[in-house]
Amino acid sequence: MNKKRDNIKWAPFESLFHSKDLEQEITKEKLKCSKPTLSEDTLIENEKKLLDAYHTQAEIKITYYYNGYIYEKKSSISFLNYQNTEIFLKDHTTLYFEQILKIIFL
């Protein structure tokens, strides 16, 4: 007797070619959002918090927008570049002032 068919697992949702990849891509695209607009007061407050965090070397949680998604990162600031509006974090991440939505001191 040939019992090779006993070892085959049936996967109904992965039967189509690349259907799992396509499903993940569609789900990822649905989660994209547009960049929230911030008021001038919020932008000024974020700038003050950045300066305080830089001078005190405090750890902060930054909520930022990048490429259609909102991310959060915990780190401290290693350098601020005002000319290019860049923020360099201790974990070797570079953010721009325009990306930052919210700053919380930890």
Distance between first and last Cα of the chain: 67
Whether 69 has a pLDDT exceeding 80, the answer reads yes
Residues of the domain holding 98: 40-105
Tokens of 64: 């930022």
Whether 100 has a pLDDT exceeding 60, the answer reads yes
State the number of CA atoms in the 13 A half-sphere of 72 facing the CB: 7
Q: Quick check: is 3 in a domain?
A: no
Query: What confidence category does residue 12 fall into, taking pLDDT thresholds of 50, 70 and 90?
Result: low
Dihedral angle over CA of 49, 43, 103, 59, nearest 10: -30
Q: Quick check: is 56 in a domain?
A: yes
User: How many domains are contained in the chain?
Assistant: 1
Q: Quick check: is 10 in a domain?
A: no
